[in-house]
A = this chain, B = another copy of it.
Amino acid sequence: MSGQTKFLLDESRIPKRWYNIQADLPKALPPVLHPGTMKPVGPDDLAPLFPMELIMQEVTTEREIDIPEPVRDVFRLWRPTPMFRAHRLEQALGTPARIFYKYEGVSPAGSHKPNTAIAQAFYNKQAGIRRLTTETGAGQWGSSLAFAGALFGIDVTVFQVRVSYNQKPYRRALMESYGARCLPSPSTETAYGRDVLSRTPDHPGSLGIAISEAVEIAAQRDDTKYALGSVLNHVLLHQTIVGIEAIEQLQMADAYPDVVVGCTGGGSNFAGISFPFIGAGLRGGAKPRIVAVEPAACPSLTRGRYAYDFGDTAHMTPLTKMHTLGSTFTPPGFHAGGLRYHGMAPLVSHLKELGLIEAVAYNQVECFEAGVLFGRTEGILPAPEANHAVKGAIEEALRCKREGRAETILFNLCGHGHFDMQAYMDFSAGKLTNQTYSEEELAMALSGLPSVPEPA
Protein backbone atom coordinates (compact mmCIF):
# COMPACT_ATOMS: atom_id res chain seq x y z
CA MET A 1 0.00 0.00 0.00
CA SER A 2 1.45 3.37 -0.92
CA GLY A 3 0.34 6.80 -1.98
CA GLN A 4 -2.53 8.89 -0.82
CA THR A 5 -5.92 7.24 -0.35
CA LYS A 6 -8.32 10.08 0.33
CA PHE A 7 -8.54 13.40 -1.48
CA LEU A 8 -10.33 16.02 0.57
CA LEU A 9 -11.25 19.59 -0.25
CA ASP A 10 -11.97 22.24 2.34
CA GLU A 11 -15.52 23.61 2.41
CA SER A 12 -14.23 26.81 0.82
CA ARG A 13 -13.68 24.67 -2.29
CA ILE A 14 -17.37 23.81 -2.70
CA PRO A 15 -17.93 24.85 -6.32
CA LYS A 16 -19.49 28.27 -6.79
CA ARG A 17 -21.05 27.41 -10.16
CA TRP A 18 -22.76 24.45 -11.76
CA TYR A 19 -21.68 23.40 -15.26
CA ASN A 20 -24.32 23.47 -17.98
CA ILE A 21 -23.44 21.10 -20.80
CA GLN A 22 -26.08 22.71 -23.03
CA ALA A 23 -23.53 25.48 -23.63
CA ASP A 24 -21.14 23.07 -25.33
CA LEU A 25 -23.42 20.69 -27.21
CA PRO A 26 -22.51 20.37 -30.91
CA LYS A 27 -26.24 20.09 -31.61
CA ALA A 28 -29.06 21.50 -29.47
CA LEU A 29 -31.48 19.30 -27.53
CA PRO A 30 -34.76 18.50 -29.28
CA PRO A 31 -37.56 20.64 -27.82
CA VAL A 32 -39.91 19.49 -25.06
CA LEU A 33 -43.50 19.06 -26.29
CA HIS A 34 -46.76 19.97 -24.60
CA PRO A 35 -48.81 16.84 -23.82
CA GLY A 36 -51.99 18.40 -25.20
CA THR A 37 -50.85 20.28 -28.28
CA MET A 38 -47.68 18.29 -29.05
CA LYS A 39 -46.12 21.71 -29.74
CA PRO A 40 -42.89 22.88 -28.07
CA VAL A 41 -43.59 24.14 -24.57
CA GLY A 42 -42.69 27.62 -23.38
CA PRO A 43 -41.68 28.61 -19.84
CA ASP A 44 -45.29 29.51 -18.97
CA ASP A 45 -46.44 25.98 -19.73
CA LEU A 46 -44.16 24.68 -17.00
CA ALA A 47 -44.94 27.42 -14.47
CA PRO A 48 -47.67 25.47 -12.65
CA LEU A 49 -45.09 22.80 -11.79
CA PHE A 50 -41.78 24.59 -11.24
CA PRO A 51 -40.54 27.99 -10.06
CA MET A 52 -39.26 30.20 -12.88
CA GLU A 53 -35.59 29.95 -11.83
CA LEU A 54 -35.65 26.18 -12.36
CA ILE A 55 -37.54 26.55 -15.64
CA MET A 56 -34.85 28.92 -16.89
CA GLN A 57 -32.15 26.46 -15.81
CA GLU A 58 -33.99 23.85 -17.83
CA VAL A 59 -33.50 25.77 -21.08
CA THR A 60 -30.54 28.10 -20.65
CA THR A 61 -27.38 27.66 -22.69
CA GLU A 62 -25.22 29.69 -20.30
CA ARG A 63 -22.19 27.60 -19.48
CA GLU A 64 -21.99 28.38 -15.79
CA ILE A 65 -24.84 28.96 -13.37
CA ASP A 66 -24.09 30.51 -9.98
CA ILE A 67 -24.88 28.31 -7.00
CA PRO A 68 -26.76 30.50 -4.51
CA GLU A 69 -24.90 31.03 -1.23
CA PRO A 70 -27.71 29.56 0.94
CA VAL A 71 -27.41 26.37 -1.12
CA ARG A 72 -23.63 26.26 -0.71
CA ASP A 73 -24.16 26.89 2.97
CA VAL A 74 -26.23 23.71 3.34
CA PHE A 75 -23.76 21.80 1.18
CA ARG A 76 -21.14 22.49 3.85
CA LEU A 77 -22.83 19.78 5.95
CA TRP A 78 -21.29 17.13 3.69
CA ARG A 79 -19.60 18.71 0.68
CA PRO A 80 -17.06 18.61 -0.86
CA THR A 81 -17.45 14.84 -0.75
CA PRO A 82 -14.28 12.73 -0.58
CA MET A 83 -12.59 11.14 -3.55
CA PHE A 84 -10.66 7.92 -2.91
CA ARG A 85 -7.96 5.95 -4.63
CA ALA A 86 -9.08 2.29 -4.47
CA HIS A 87 -5.66 0.83 -3.65
CA ARG A 88 -7.06 -2.35 -2.11
CA LEU A 89 -9.48 -3.04 -4.94
CA GLU A 90 -6.67 -2.54 -7.46
CA GLN A 91 -4.53 -5.06 -5.55
CA ALA A 92 -7.36 -7.58 -5.36
CA LEU A 93 -7.88 -7.31 -9.11
CA GLY A 94 -4.16 -7.33 -9.90
CA THR A 95 -4.71 -4.51 -12.35
CA PRO A 96 -2.17 -1.93 -13.47
CA ALA A 97 -5.04 0.57 -13.67
CA ARG A 98 -5.48 3.31 -11.10
CA ILE A 99 -9.06 3.35 -9.82
CA PHE A 100 -10.53 6.48 -8.21
CA TYR A 101 -14.03 6.84 -6.86
CA LYS A 102 -16.01 9.83 -5.83
CA TYR A 103 -18.17 8.97 -2.78
CA GLU A 104 -21.57 10.62 -2.49
CA GLY A 105 -22.80 8.35 0.33
CA VAL A 106 -21.55 10.78 2.99
CA SER A 107 -24.62 13.00 2.52
CA PRO A 108 -27.22 12.88 5.30
CA ALA A 109 -29.55 10.84 3.10
CA GLY A 110 -26.75 8.50 2.03
CA SER A 111 -26.73 9.32 -1.69
CA HIS A 112 -26.16 12.06 -4.27
CA LYS A 113 -29.84 13.05 -4.34
CA PRO A 114 -29.59 15.92 -1.81
CA ASN A 115 -27.37 17.81 -4.31
CA THR A 116 -30.46 18.73 -6.29
CA ALA A 117 -33.03 18.45 -3.49
CA ILE A 118 -31.36 21.32 -1.61
CA ALA A 119 -31.19 23.49 -4.72
CA GLN A 120 -34.81 22.80 -5.66
CA ALA A 121 -36.04 23.49 -2.15
CA PHE A 122 -34.12 26.79 -2.12
CA TYR A 123 -35.56 28.07 -5.41
CA ASN A 124 -39.07 27.07 -4.42
CA LYS A 125 -38.73 28.76 -1.03
CA GLN A 126 -37.45 31.88 -2.77
CA ALA A 127 -40.54 31.82 -5.01
CA GLY A 128 -42.82 31.73 -1.97
CA ILE A 129 -43.78 28.09 -2.35
CA ARG A 130 -44.99 26.41 0.85
CA ARG A 131 -45.35 22.81 -0.27
CA LEU A 132 -43.56 20.44 -2.62
CA THR A 133 -44.95 17.20 -3.96
CA THR A 134 -42.89 14.41 -5.41
CA GLU A 135 -42.82 10.70 -6.08
CA THR A 136 -40.41 8.09 -4.83
CA GLY A 137 -39.79 4.40 -5.32
CA ALA A 138 -37.57 2.84 -2.68
CA GLY A 139 -37.22 6.29 -1.13
CA GLN A 140 -33.74 7.69 -1.84
CA TRP A 141 -35.20 10.72 -3.59
CA GLY A 142 -38.12 11.16 -1.21
CA SER A 143 -35.87 11.13 1.85
CA SER A 144 -33.53 13.64 0.22
CA LEU A 145 -36.34 16.07 -0.57
CA ALA A 146 -37.71 15.57 2.95
CA PHE A 147 -34.30 16.53 4.33
CA ALA A 148 -34.20 19.60 2.08
CA GLY A 149 -37.72 20.59 3.09
CA ALA A 150 -36.79 20.39 6.78
CA LEU A 151 -33.87 22.77 6.27
CA PHE A 152 -35.79 25.34 4.21
CA GLY A 153 -39.12 25.14 6.02
CA ILE A 154 -41.15 23.67 3.14
CA ASP A 155 -43.79 20.99 3.66
CA VAL A 156 -43.02 17.91 1.59
CA THR A 157 -45.61 15.37 0.42
CA VAL A 158 -44.18 12.19 -1.05
CA PHE A 159 -46.19 9.72 -3.11
CA GLN A 160 -44.36 6.45 -2.57
CA VAL A 161 -45.00 3.46 -4.82
CA ARG A 162 -47.33 1.35 -2.67
CA VAL A 163 -45.36 -1.88 -2.85
CA SER A 164 -42.26 -0.06 -1.56
CA TYR A 165 -44.32 1.82 1.02
CA ASN A 166 -45.41 -1.50 2.45
CA GLN A 167 -42.28 -3.58 1.95
CA LYS A 168 -39.52 -1.05 2.64
CA PRO A 169 -40.69 1.05 5.56
CA TYR A 170 -37.26 2.28 6.66
CA ARG A 171 -36.71 5.00 4.10
CA ARG A 172 -40.27 6.10 4.77
CA ALA A 173 -39.30 6.34 8.44
CA LEU A 174 -36.40 8.57 7.41
CA MET A 175 -38.76 10.82 5.41
CA GLU A 176 -41.13 11.04 8.36
CA SER A 177 -38.28 11.75 10.76
CA TYR A 178 -37.41 14.74 8.57
CA GLY A 179 -41.06 15.81 8.89
CA ALA A 180 -42.37 14.85 5.45
CA ARG A 181 -45.79 13.32 4.77
CA CYS A 182 -45.58 10.02 2.92
CA LEU A 183 -48.56 8.46 1.12
CA PRO A 184 -48.82 5.10 -0.60
CA SER A 185 -49.50 5.54 -4.31
CA PRO A 186 -52.03 5.05 -5.85
CA SER A 187 -53.73 7.09 -3.13
CA THR A 188 -57.22 8.43 -2.55
CA GLU A 189 -55.91 12.02 -2.46
CA THR A 190 -55.88 12.53 -6.22
CA ALA A 191 -58.45 12.01 -8.95
CA TYR A 192 -55.97 9.86 -10.85
CA GLY A 193 -55.17 7.75 -7.80
CA ARG A 194 -58.86 7.21 -7.07
CA ASP A 195 -59.42 6.28 -10.71
CA VAL A 196 -56.66 3.67 -10.62
CA LEU A 197 -57.94 2.26 -7.31
CA SER A 198 -61.52 2.07 -8.56
CA ARG A 199 -60.32 -0.18 -11.37
CA THR A 200 -57.68 -2.08 -9.36
CA PRO A 201 -58.23 -1.72 -5.60
CA ASP A 202 -55.03 -3.59 -4.72
CA HIS A 203 -52.82 -1.88 -7.33
CA PRO A 204 -49.13 -2.14 -6.27
CA GLY A 205 -48.33 1.26 -7.80
CA SER A 206 -45.52 2.39 -10.08
CA LEU A 207 -43.25 5.39 -10.43
CA GLY A 208 -45.28 6.55 -13.42
CA ILE A 209 -48.49 6.58 -11.38
CA ALA A 210 -46.81 8.30 -8.43
CA ILE A 211 -45.50 11.04 -10.73
CA SER A 212 -49.01 11.54 -12.11
CA GLU A 213 -50.38 11.96 -8.59
CA ALA A 214 -47.66 14.38 -7.48
CA VAL A 215 -48.08 16.46 -10.64
CA GLU A 216 -51.87 16.56 -10.25
CA ILE A 217 -51.64 18.03 -6.74
CA ALA A 218 -48.96 20.56 -7.68
CA ALA A 219 -50.85 21.76 -10.75
CA GLN A 220 -53.96 22.52 -8.68
CA ARG A 221 -52.52 24.75 -5.99
CA ASP A 222 -50.66 28.04 -6.22
CA ASP A 223 -48.61 27.45 -3.09
CA THR A 224 -47.55 23.98 -4.19
CA LYS A 225 -45.06 22.87 -6.81
CA TYR A 226 -43.58 19.62 -8.00
CA ALA A 227 -40.00 18.34 -7.66
CA LEU A 228 -38.34 15.59 -9.68
CA GLY A 229 -35.19 13.77 -8.59
CA SER A 230 -33.66 12.96 -11.98
CA VAL A 231 -34.20 13.12 -15.76
CA LEU A 232 -34.73 16.90 -16.16
CA ASN A 233 -31.96 19.21 -17.34
CA HIS A 234 -31.91 21.32 -14.17
CA VAL A 235 -31.58 18.21 -12.00
CA LEU A 236 -28.58 17.02 -14.02
CA LEU A 237 -27.15 20.54 -13.85
CA HIS A 238 -27.26 20.47 -10.04
CA GLN A 239 -25.42 17.15 -9.96
CA THR A 240 -22.45 18.49 -11.95
CA ILE A 241 -21.00 19.65 -8.65
CA VAL A 242 -19.84 16.02 -8.30
CA GLY A 243 -17.67 16.06 -11.39
CA ILE A 244 -16.42 19.61 -10.82
CA GLU A 245 -15.12 18.59 -7.41
CA ALA A 246 -13.65 15.39 -8.85
CA ILE A 247 -11.61 17.33 -11.41
CA GLU A 248 -10.01 19.39 -8.65
CA GLN A 249 -9.42 16.30 -6.52
CA LEU A 250 -7.82 14.45 -9.43
CA GLN A 251 -5.46 17.40 -9.81
CA MET A 252 -4.40 16.75 -6.20
CA ALA A 253 -3.59 13.22 -7.34
CA ASP A 254 -1.89 14.53 -10.48
CA ALA A 255 -4.30 12.45 -12.56
CA TYR A 256 -6.89 12.74 -15.30
CA PRO A 257 -9.23 9.90 -16.18
CA ASP A 258 -9.01 7.76 -19.29
CA VAL A 259 -12.45 6.35 -18.43
CA VAL A 260 -15.33 7.80 -16.40
CA VAL A 261 -18.01 5.36 -15.22
CA GLY A 262 -21.42 5.98 -13.71
CA CYS A 263 -24.63 4.00 -13.24
CA THR A 264 -27.74 5.24 -15.03
CA GLY A 265 -31.38 5.10 -14.03
CA GLY A 266 -32.85 8.50 -14.78
CA GLY A 267 -29.32 9.71 -15.44
CA SER A 268 -28.56 12.27 -12.72
CA ASN A 269 -25.61 10.74 -10.87
CA PHE A 270 -24.06 9.70 -14.19
CA ALA A 271 -24.46 13.22 -15.52
CA GLY A 272 -23.04 14.60 -12.30
CA ILE A 273 -19.75 12.76 -12.55
CA SER A 274 -19.39 12.83 -16.35
CA PHE A 275 -20.71 16.11 -17.80
CA PRO A 276 -17.81 18.30 -16.60
CA PHE A 277 -15.39 15.87 -18.26
CA ILE A 278 -17.44 15.66 -21.46
CA GLY A 279 -17.65 19.43 -21.55
CA ALA A 280 -13.90 19.83 -21.12
CA GLY A 281 -13.45 17.47 -24.07
CA LEU A 282 -15.96 19.38 -26.19
CA ARG A 283 -14.04 22.56 -25.49
CA GLY A 284 -10.81 21.03 -26.79
CA GLY A 285 -9.48 19.20 -23.74
CA ALA A 286 -8.77 15.51 -23.26
CA LYS A 287 -11.66 13.22 -24.11
CA PRO A 288 -11.93 10.33 -21.65
CA ARG A 289 -14.22 7.46 -22.58
CA ILE A 290 -17.54 7.91 -20.77
CA VAL A 291 -19.33 4.69 -19.82
CA ALA A 292 -22.95 4.55 -18.64
CA VAL A 293 -23.81 1.32 -16.82
CA GLU A 294 -27.45 0.34 -16.68
CA PRO A 295 -29.36 -2.68 -15.39
CA ALA A 296 -29.95 -5.38 -17.99
CA ALA A 297 -33.50 -5.65 -16.68
CA CYS A 298 -34.33 -2.02 -17.50
CA PRO A 299 -32.02 -1.18 -20.41
CA SER A 300 -33.30 2.09 -21.78
CA LEU A 301 -29.96 3.19 -23.28
CA THR A 302 -28.99 -0.18 -24.75
CA ARG A 303 -32.40 -1.55 -25.76
CA GLY A 304 -34.78 1.43 -25.72
CA ARG A 305 -35.88 3.54 -28.64
CA TYR A 306 -34.81 7.16 -29.03
CA ALA A 307 -38.22 8.75 -29.33
CA TYR A 308 -40.64 11.20 -27.80
CA ASP A 309 -42.40 9.78 -24.75
CA PHE A 310 -44.21 10.75 -21.58
CA GLY A 311 -42.54 10.69 -18.19
CA ASP A 312 -45.62 9.41 -16.36
CA THR A 313 -48.44 6.94 -16.70
CA ALA A 314 -51.37 9.34 -16.82
CA HIS A 315 -49.63 11.30 -19.58
CA MET A 316 -49.84 14.60 -17.73
CA THR A 317 -46.15 15.43 -18.15
CA PRO A 318 -44.63 17.09 -21.22
CA LEU A 319 -43.04 14.77 -23.79
CA THR A 320 -39.29 14.62 -24.14
CA LYS A 321 -37.12 12.89 -26.68
CA MET A 322 -35.21 10.21 -24.89
CA HIS A 323 -34.21 6.58 -24.87
CA THR A 324 -37.34 4.90 -23.61
CA LEU A 325 -38.73 1.43 -23.11
CA GLY A 326 -42.23 2.93 -23.33
CA SER A 327 -44.18 4.52 -20.50
CA THR A 328 -46.23 1.33 -20.08
CA PHE A 329 -43.11 -0.82 -19.65
CA THR A 330 -43.03 -2.30 -16.14
CA PRO A 331 -39.46 -3.11 -15.12
CA PRO A 332 -39.10 -6.41 -13.23
CA GLY A 333 -38.56 -6.15 -9.49
CA PHE A 334 -34.78 -6.06 -9.18
CA HIS A 335 -33.15 -4.41 -6.17
CA ALA A 336 -31.66 -1.27 -7.71
CA GLY A 337 -34.97 0.58 -7.34
CA GLY A 338 -33.31 3.85 -8.31
CA LEU A 339 -32.62 2.47 -11.78
CA ARG A 340 -36.15 1.21 -12.48
CA TYR A 341 -37.45 3.86 -14.84
CA HIS A 342 -38.67 3.44 -18.37
CA GLY A 343 -36.88 6.49 -19.74
CA MET A 344 -33.47 8.13 -19.72
CA ALA A 345 -32.63 11.79 -19.18
CA PRO A 346 -32.99 13.69 -22.50
CA LEU A 347 -29.48 15.12 -22.12
CA VAL A 348 -27.92 11.71 -21.54
CA SER A 349 -29.92 10.26 -24.43
CA HIS A 350 -28.82 13.11 -26.69
CA LEU A 351 -25.15 12.54 -25.81
CA LYS A 352 -25.59 8.86 -26.61
CA GLU A 353 -27.04 9.74 -30.01
CA LEU A 354 -24.12 12.12 -30.63
CA GLY A 355 -21.67 9.30 -29.89
CA LEU A 356 -20.20 11.12 -26.91
CA ILE A 357 -20.92 8.34 -24.40
CA GLU A 358 -20.99 4.54 -24.38
CA ALA A 359 -23.55 2.36 -22.64
CA VAL A 360 -23.37 -1.15 -21.24
CA ALA A 361 -25.86 -3.28 -19.28
CA TYR A 362 -25.19 -5.81 -16.51
CA ASN A 363 -27.41 -8.20 -14.58
CA GLN A 364 -27.89 -7.74 -10.87
CA VAL A 365 -26.12 -10.87 -9.61
CA GLU A 366 -22.81 -9.87 -11.22
CA CYS A 367 -23.30 -6.35 -9.90
CA PHE A 368 -23.79 -7.64 -6.34
CA GLU A 369 -20.67 -9.79 -6.70
CA ALA A 370 -18.80 -6.63 -7.64
CA GLY A 371 -20.32 -4.74 -4.72
CA VAL A 372 -19.34 -7.40 -2.18
CA LEU A 373 -15.77 -7.47 -3.51
CA PHE A 374 -15.73 -3.70 -3.19
CA GLY A 375 -17.03 -3.88 0.39
CA ARG A 376 -14.44 -6.44 1.41
CA THR A 377 -11.57 -4.41 -0.05
CA GLU A 378 -12.58 -0.76 0.28
CA GLY A 379 -14.91 -1.16 3.29
CA ILE A 380 -17.96 0.63 1.92
CA LEU A 381 -20.89 -1.60 0.99
CA PRO A 382 -22.48 0.19 -1.98
CA ALA A 383 -26.14 0.74 -2.72
CA PRO A 384 -27.48 -1.69 -5.34
CA GLU A 385 -27.58 1.15 -7.87
CA ALA A 386 -23.93 1.99 -7.20
CA ASN A 387 -22.99 -1.67 -7.62
CA HIS A 388 -23.57 -1.17 -11.34
CA ALA A 389 -20.91 1.54 -11.45
CA VAL A 390 -18.56 -0.66 -9.40
CA LYS A 391 -19.12 -3.50 -11.87
CA GLY A 392 -18.43 -1.20 -14.79
CA ALA A 393 -15.23 0.10 -13.22
CA ILE A 394 -14.02 -3.41 -12.38
CA GLU A 395 -14.62 -4.55 -15.96
CA GLU A 396 -12.55 -1.60 -17.22
CA ALA A 397 -9.79 -2.43 -14.71
CA LEU A 398 -9.74 -6.06 -15.85
CA ARG A 399 -9.55 -4.93 -19.46
CA CYS A 400 -6.53 -2.81 -18.49
CA LYS A 401 -5.02 -5.93 -16.90
CA ARG A 402 -5.53 -7.96 -20.07
CA GLU A 403 -4.12 -5.19 -22.22
CA GLY A 404 -1.33 -4.29 -19.78
CA ARG A 405 -2.42 -0.66 -19.68
CA ALA A 406 -2.07 1.57 -16.62
CA GLU A 407 -5.16 3.65 -17.33
CA THR A 408 -6.89 5.92 -14.85
CA ILE A 409 -10.49 5.00 -14.09
CA LEU A 410 -12.89 7.26 -12.22
CA PHE A 411 -16.34 6.21 -11.09
CA ASN A 412 -19.14 7.63 -9.01
CA LEU A 413 -20.07 5.67 -5.90
CA CYS A 414 -23.41 7.39 -5.59
CA GLY A 415 -24.62 5.89 -2.30
CA HIS A 416 -24.11 3.40 0.50
CA GLY A 417 -26.13 0.24 0.93
CA HIS A 418 -27.13 0.54 4.58
CA PHE A 419 -30.81 0.86 3.62
CA ASP A 420 -30.56 -2.06 1.20
CA MET A 421 -29.47 -4.93 3.41
CA GLN A 422 -32.42 -7.14 2.43
CA ALA A 423 -30.89 -7.30 -1.04
CA TYR A 424 -27.52 -8.33 0.40
CA MET A 425 -29.26 -10.93 2.59
CA ASP A 426 -30.87 -12.40 -0.50
CA PHE A 427 -27.51 -12.33 -2.28
CA SER A 428 -25.68 -14.02 0.62
CA ALA A 429 -28.37 -16.68 0.80
CA GLY A 430 -28.05 -17.38 -2.93
CA LYS A 431 -31.64 -16.25 -3.40
CA LEU A 432 -30.82 -13.29 -5.62
CA THR A 433 -31.53 -14.07 -9.24
CA ASN A 434 -31.30 -12.05 -12.42
CA GLN A 435 -34.58 -10.48 -13.40
CA THR A 436 -35.73 -10.14 -16.93
CA TYR A 437 -38.58 -8.89 -19.03
CA SER A 438 -40.23 -10.62 -21.95
CA GLU A 439 -39.39 -9.46 -25.45
CA GLU A 440 -43.12 -9.38 -26.16
CA GLU A 441 -43.69 -6.99 -23.29
CA LEU A 442 -40.93 -4.68 -24.47
CA ALA A 443 -42.22 -4.77 -28.03
CA MET A 444 -45.72 -3.96 -26.87
CA ALA A 445 -44.54 -1.06 -24.71
CA LEU A 446 -42.50 0.32 -27.59
CA SER A 447 -45.41 -0.03 -30.00
CA GLY A 448 -47.43 2.19 -27.67
CA LEU A 449 -45.07 5.12 -27.99
CA PRO A 450 -46.96 8.32 -28.82
CA SER A 451 -47.04 9.41 -32.41
CA VAL A 452 -45.42 12.82 -32.55
CA PRO A 453 -44.89 15.06 -35.57
CA GLU A 454 -41.15 15.70 -35.77
CA PRO A 455 -40.76 19.41 -34.93
CA ALA A 456 -39.02 21.60 -37.45
Contacts and interface: CB of A to CB of B under 8 A. Distances in A.
A136 to B, nearest CB: 15
A179 interface: yes
A376 B5 contact: no
B76 A174 contact: no
Nearest to A168: B421
A416 B70 CA distance: 25
A84 B73 CA distance: 13
Interface stretch (A305-313, A377-385, A403-411): A377-385
Nearest to A2: B73
Contacts of A425: 169-170, 172-173, 176
B5 A77 contact: yes
Given A376-B178, A422-B170, A73 B1 contact: yes
Interface string A195-236: 000000000000000000000000000000000000000000
A108 B379 contact: yes
A419 interface: yes
B76 A6 contact: yes
Contacts of A178: 375-376, 381
A351 interface: no
B422 A419 contact: no
Interface string A61-84: 000000000100110111000001
Contacts of A427: 177
A303 interface: no
Contacts of A170: 418, 421-422, 425
A141 interface: no
Contacts of A74: 379
A77 B379 contact: yes
B6 A179 contact: no
A122 interface: no
A424 B6 contact: no
Contacts of A169: 421, 425
A126 interface: no
B5 A8 contact: no
Contacts of A108: 375, 378-381
Given A151-B379, A173-B422, A174-B418, 17 more contacts: A1-B73, A5-B11, A6-B11, A6-B77, A8-B8, A8-B11, A77-B380, A78-B379, A150-B377, A169-B421, A170-B421, A174-B381, A174-B421, A177-B375, A177-B427, A179-B376, A418-B418
